[in-house]
Amino acid sequence: MKTGKSGAQRLSGGENLSELGASIDPSLSSTLIRGIEILRCFNSSDLSLSNSEIARRLNLNRPTVSRLCKTLMHLGYLRRDDKDAFRLAPRLLALNYPVLSAMPWRHEVLHPMRELAQMCSGNCSLGVMSGDLFVHIETAGNPPGWPHVPDIGQTGPLHRSALGWSLLSMQRDAEFAIKIDELKSLYPEEFAAYSAKVNAGVARCRQEGFCVSYGDWRPNLVAAAAPLGRTADGLCVAIACGVPRYRADANYFETDLGPRLASASELIRSSGLFVLPNAERRGGQPNSDDAGARSSSHRDVTPARKTGRRDESA
C-alpha cells in the first residue's frame, strides 16, 4: 500500500481492500473499509466520479463498486448528478456535527483568529492532529485573490507544513518517537526529504513558540504556525496564518508575524482553554501559568496592519 501526499491510501499492484484489511487485522470488516475508501476517493479536484473510475482507483470490480455505491446512496451519503456520476451527498455533513459540537472552544478562538487574519491580510486556521494528518476545524479571513482558502474538514500533512510541525511539537518523549515512526512508515521517501525541516520546525516551536513554512505543503503559500496546546479531552490544537507566496516577505514572517502569533497563542492559553505541557518560553525559559507574568506586548493581539511589505518571493 502506498500513501499519497493527501494522506489518502493508494493501492498498488494486485492489492485489494479485502487483503489490506486482513493484513492489518483479520477481525476488521473489509466491506466497511471498502465503503469508506469509496467516500475518500472524492476531493476538491474530483467532485464527481463514475462507477468505472472508482473501481479503477480502488482496484475493485465494477459490480462490487456498484453494490457498495447503491448502499451508500441508500444511506444518503452518495448521490448521482445529471451525468449519472456519483457525488458526495450533503448528509455526510451530519457526521461532522457531533465532532464539532464537542469543540465549543472553537468559537472562543474565532475572534482573535479574525484579528490575526486581518493583521496579515491573509487567512488564519485552527487545526487538530488526527493520526498522520492535521484537520482544519475553523478558519477566518477570505482576502480577494486568495489562491487557497482552507475550510473545515480539510486535511494536510504533519511532516511538511507549519501547522503540522507545531502540532508535532506538542508530542513529547515516547509519544513523539511513536508519531515520527508512524510518519516514516507511511511516507518513507517524503519524510526522508523533510526530516531536517521537521526537526527544525518542532525545535523552533518549542523554544520560540512558532515556525514558518515556505511552500512546503502548497507551493504558492507561506505560513507561520504556533502550538496552542491540548484540550481537556486530549486534542492537540495549533493555529496558523498564511499569505500567497508572491507577496510574502520573509523578514515580516520571521520577525513580526511569527512572534505575534506566538504571543497571541500564549494569551489564548491564559484563558485556560489549552494546556501546553512542559512548555518553554522564547529564550528557553520555563512557561508560567501566571497570566500576570506576561509582558504587555503579549497582550497586543490586534496591532495595526503592517504596510509596505516587500513583494518578494519567500
- Which residues have C-beta within 8 Å of that of residue 29, sequence separation ≥ 6? 21
Residues 106 and 32 in one domain: no
Residues 169 and 61 in one domain: no
Alpha-carbon distance values, 230 to 171, 209, 265 (Å):
10, 15, 12
- Domain closes at, from 94, 114, 132: 94
Query: pLDDT by residue (tens digit) across 7-23?
Result: 334 433 334 444 444 45
Asked if the structure places residue 276 within a domain, the reply is yes
Residues 161 and 261 in one domain: yes
CA dihedral 6, 12, 14, 17 (to 10 degrees): -30
- Domain closes at, from 30, 65, 94: 94
Residues 73 and 185 in one domain: no
Query: Which whole number is the average pLDDT over 234-261?
Result: 94
Residues 193 and 217 in one domain: yes
Q: Please give the share of the chain, as a percent, with pLDDT higher than 90.
A: 67
- For 142, the domain range is 102-299
Q: Which of the four pLDDT bands, split at 50, 70 and 90, describes residue 279?
A: low
CATH code (residue 129): 3.30.450.40
| Residue 254, pLDDT score | 96
Residues 59 and 195 in one domain: no
Residues 205 and 72 in one domain: no
Asked if the structure places residue 308 within a domain, the reply is no
Residue 219 has pLDDT above 70, yes or no: yes
- Which residues have C-beta within 8 Å of that of residue 269, sequence separation ≥ 6? 228, 229, 275, 276
Question: Taking the model in full, what pTM does it have?
Answer: 0.78
Query: pLDDT by residue (tens digit) across 14-52?
Result: 344 444 444 567 888 889 999 999 999 998 789 999 999
Of residues 181 and 24, the one with the higher pLDDT is 181
Of residues 104 and 145, the one with the higher pLDDT is 104
Residues 134 and 271 in one domain: yes
Alpha-carbon distance values, 199 to 21, 173, 176 (Å):
33, 14, 11
Residue 249 has pLDDT above 80, yes or no: yes
CA distance 175 to 21: 26
- Domain closes at, from 78, 94, 110: 94
CATH code (residue 69): 1.10.10.10
Query: Which whole number is the average pLDDT over 126-147?
Result: 87
| Residue 55, pLDDT score | 95
| Residue 24, pLDDT score | 62
Asked if the structure places residue 306 within a domain, the reply is no
Of residues 285 and 299, the one with the higher pLDDT is 285
Please tell me the total count of domains within the chain: 2
Asked if the structure places residue 313 within a domain, the reply is no
Asked if the structure places residue 153 within a domain, the reply is yes
**Average confidence score pLDDT of the chain:** 83
Asked if the structure places residue 307 within a domain, the reply is no
Residues 80 and 109 in one domain: no
Q: Please give the share of the chain, as a percent, with pLDDT higher than 70.
A: 78
Asked if the structure places residue 190 within a domain, the reply is yes
